[in-house]
């Protein structure tokens, strides 16, 4: 079985091929910087992060009097690590009983899969878990969560066509009564009228807070690492509406262009708790800036 690093590497290879090949035997001139700019933009780093990295790199090359391309690559790596480091934050469960986690994300981002992975991760660390099917609009979403719960011995609180805020409130109460360690609340990723999604999520968040002080203790957004600058748009919109405490970026084993993390770091540095690197239950890893840059730039 491939190690997760090699899968991450393979996933980012489209970008890293561009970014690392570029330096091989290259002269340090405008052409190199132009190619680097193009490669960074192609990796979905966005204009802001790309310009920032290029400026910082040029300054470093000058200040440190770097003369060969290999040294420039090392310099870029260290600038990239510095840029991404603020996104690194280990996920730790607080003192709350239960810790309530609200999990949002647009349909298809990998939310349900990620909730499954997270539940397993918690259980492996001796935590009892309760799930709430807060996406009451899609019967399929509810069923998927129920089936998953049965298979993994995790209780799922669900109500047919119930009010998502009420289901979430019930789950918190139930978690309190049972002494559960972690309550994870799945939410809708799309409503019949998209316009109301943020209002709906804000309502769920408010109602959870009525069920327990300081809850939700974690407000997470799951984003698909393949959606490029769209991922950044989602981070901004969900953070504006919900004040996110963390991100989970999925599908970095696919054809992802990891540059989007640089864009997030520059524009909206919400911590990245985990990255998804496959469809299997164990394919979830804490985000580590150094490992990530190593996979991206080789």
Binding site for ligand GDP (CB under 6 A): 105, 107-113, 189, 250-251, 253-254, 276-279, 283
Decide: 181 and 127 in contact? Cβ < 8 Å.
Answer: yes
- The answer to whether 105 is annotated as binding is yes
Minimum Å gap between C-beta 231 and ligand GDP is: 13
- The answer to whether 108 is annotated as binding is yes
CA distance 141 to 115: 12
Helix axes 260-267, 46-63, angle to 10 degrees: 90
Residue (46 or 276) nearer to ligand GDP, CB = 276
Residue (11 or 259) nearer to ligand GDP, CB = 11
Half-sphere exposure of 257 (CA within 13 A, CB side): 21
- The answer to whether 252 is annotated as binding is yes
- 37: burial class by Cβ within 10 Å (0-12, 13-18, 19+)? middle
Q: Which of 290, 227, 291, 297 is CA-nearest to residue 264? A: 227
Minimum Å gap between C-beta 115 and ligand GDP is: 8
Residue nearest to ligand GDP (CB): 276
Minimum Å gap between C-beta 106 and ligand GDP is: 7
Residue (246 or 276) nearer to ligand GDP, CB = 276
- The answer to whether 29 is annotated as binding is no
DSSP letter for 39, please: H
- The answer to whether 112 is annotated as binding is yes
Q: Which of 136, 116, 239 is CA-nearest to residue 187? A: 136
- The answer to whether 109 is annotated as binding is yes
Minimum Å gap between C-beta 9 and ligand GDP is: 14
Residue (73 or 251) nearer to ligand GDP, CB = 251
Residue (53 or 118) nearer to ligand GDP, CB = 118
Q: What are 241's two structure tokens? A: 């509406």
- 229: burial class by Cβ within 10 Å (0-12, 13-18, 19+)? middle
Binding site residue list: 105-112, 186-190, 250-253
Binding site residue list for GTP: 105-112, 186-190, 250-253
């Amino acid at each position: 079985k491939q190690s997760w690093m090699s899968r991450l590497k393979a996933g980012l290879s489209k970008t890293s091929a561009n970014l690392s090949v570029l330096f091989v035997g290259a002269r340090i001139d405008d052409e190199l910087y132009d190619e680097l700019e193009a490669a960074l933009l192609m990796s979905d780093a966005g204009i802001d992060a790309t310009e920032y990295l290029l400026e910082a790199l040029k300054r470093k090359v000058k200040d440190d009097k770097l003369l060969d391309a290999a040294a420039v690559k090392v310099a870029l790596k260290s600038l990239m690590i510095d840029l991404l480091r603020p996104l690194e934050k280990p996920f730790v469960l607080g003192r709350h009983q239960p810790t309530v986690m609200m999990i949002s994300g647009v349909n298809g981002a990998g939310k349900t899969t990620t909730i499954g992975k997270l539940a397993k991760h918690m259980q492996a660390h001796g935590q009892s878990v309760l799930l709430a099917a807060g996406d009451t609009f899609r019967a399929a979403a509810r069923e998927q969560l129920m089936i998953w719960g049965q298979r993994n011995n995790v209780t799922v609180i669900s109500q047919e066509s119930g009010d998502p805020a009420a289901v979430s409130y019930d789950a918190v109460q139930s978690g309190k009564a049972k002494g559960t360690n972690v309550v994870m609340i799945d939410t809708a990723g799309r409503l019949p009228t998209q316009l109301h999604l943020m209002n709906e999520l804000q309502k769920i968040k408010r109602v959870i807070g009525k069920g327990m002080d300081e809850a939700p203790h974690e407000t997470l957004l799951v984003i698909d690492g393949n959606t490029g600058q769209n991922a950044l748009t989602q981070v901004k919109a969900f953070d504006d509406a919900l004040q996110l405490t963390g991100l989970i970026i999925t599908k970095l084993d696919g054809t992802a262009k990891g540059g989007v993390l640089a864009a997030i770091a520059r524009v909206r540095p919400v911590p990245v708790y985990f990255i998804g690197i496959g469809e299997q239950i164990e394919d979830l890893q804490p985000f580590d800036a150094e490992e990530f840059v190593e996979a991206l730039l080789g």
